[in-house]
Amino acid sequence: MNEAHSERLIPLPYPLLLHVGAFCLKLNPLEMAAIVSHRVFSTATRLNSTGREPRWRGSGATSVRCADVSTATVENRRVTVSNRNDSLDICRVLNGMWQTSGGWGRIDRDDAVEAMLHYADAGLSTFDMADHYGPAEDLYGIFINRVRRERPPELLEQVRGLTKWVPPPVKMTSSYVRDSINVSRKRMDVESLDMLQFHWWDYANPGYLDALKHLTDLKEEGKIKTVALTNFDTERLQIILENEIPVVSNQVQHSLVDMRPQQRMAELCQLTGVKLITYGTVMGGLLSEKFLDTNIAIPFAGPAINTPSLQKYKRMVDAWGGWSLFQGLLRTLKQVASKHGVSIATVAVKYILDQPAVAGSMVGVRLGLSEHIQDSNAIFSLVLDEDDVNSIREATAKGKDLIKVIGDCGDEYRRA
């Protein structure tokens, strides 16, 4: 993602950093940590176990970019998802850890954990993972122990670890569910999971209700703080709520290309208070300057579609209307992005965050390989005006309605 264009970076020695931050933003030191990616740790903290500086880490003095965050506040960075007595506050931009599962480049454990600390120090302190995302839960366990040892208690209180459970379609007994959840608790090294997001493959098998009831029991025991869903459709969400299972959110695919959640799903969520957490919001990186004005139909002429996420969301582009139409959307986003001095991806995420019922949006992180902290933090201060919204809406309306092509949220995982 791009750096902001025109603002001058002022290198500062760390002892002065919080004073300048307080002057620019009127924030306390913890809130400043949510804005400024500081690199002033002890040598032991900054270096991984091999004694190497992590590959993604730059050099130079700590900097503050006052203009980037002038309208950002702690209030618009975090949101609470709740149902009855259950609630959890999360960062509205979540760090997605699917990229640790393979296919995006080799992940070095120590570099990855160091990168997680860097994101958390910058205020991006909510991490989303799953039981099947390779070492994601294990990395979180190492990371949270580093936070406990090396960071102030105030930061620890801000960190959230959201995981998913994607079981096979077997009988959902209490012991089976308990044993499965205990595996995640052990890997993540927590007494209680902040959020357990449940996925079910086959609606013809009603065992998902049994599983959710057992998960609710575990919540009552303190093993889980909040129960949530992922990739459930509107009909099944309503059935789950009618069975008095207190789910707080449903994680679904949602982007400028895939606006399906704003139809049936958002309406039910607004009626019931269930929130949406979105993934695929930058489409694996397709919604970026890298793919603007490119022709991927000619071999080696454009960027490679060479990761699982790029390949997945390229199929969504094809279903929506094709590459040429997608280029029109990218050009519109670029005009908006240039107007505000931000990146295409920042605009794409902000637009979805502004949609009804959306609590948070995922941005995938390639831990230890690359970073986009500045772009992610820019989302909080970006305000899209009426002209921006209208131009984006006009560009997206040129594509097909994916609910007619694919079906409701999550149906892409259940079609024959």
Task: Tell me the pLDDT tens digit for each residue of 73-88.
Answer: 566 899 999 999 999 9
What pLDDT sits at residue 214? 98
Where does residue 234 rank: exposed (0-12), middle (13-18), buried (19+ CB within 10 A)?
buried
Check residue 75 and give its pLDDT: 65
Higher pLDDT, 2 or 404: 404
The 10s digit of each residue's pLDDT in 10-68 is 333 333 333 334 333 334 444 444 433 333 333 333 333 334 444 443 333 333 222 23
Mean pLDDT taken over the chain:
85
What SS3 class is residue 89?
strand
Average confidence (pLDDT) over 265-292 = 97
Model confidence at 9: pLDDT above 80:
no
**Which residue in this structure is represented by tokens 């999550």?**
410
28 Cβ neighbours under 8 A, 6+ residues apart: 22
Query: Which tens digit of pLDDT belongs to each residue from 291-326?
Result: 999 998 888 778 999 899 999 999 999 999 999 999
pLDDT tens per residue across span 349-373: 999 999 999 999 999 999 888 889 9
What is the reported pLDDT for 117?
Answer: 97
Query: What is the gyration radius of the CA atoms in the chain, in angstroms?
Result: 21
Supply the pLDDT for residue 25.
37
Nearest-10 Cα torsion for 280, 169, 139, 162 = 60
pTM: 0.83
Name the DSSP class of 262.
G
Confidence of residue 274 (pLDDT cuts 50, 70, 90): very high
* Average of per-residue pLDDT across 396-411: 97
- DSSP string covering 285-349, please? GTSSGGGTT--TTSTTTS----SHHHHHHHHHHHHHT-HHHHHHHHHHHHHHHHHHT--HHHHHH
Q: Please count the other Cβ atoms lying within 10 Å of the Cβ belonging to residue 168.
A: 5
Query: How do residues 89-148 score in pLDDT, each as one tens digit?
Result: 999 999 999 999 888 888 899 999 999 999 999 999 999 999 999 999 999 999 999 999
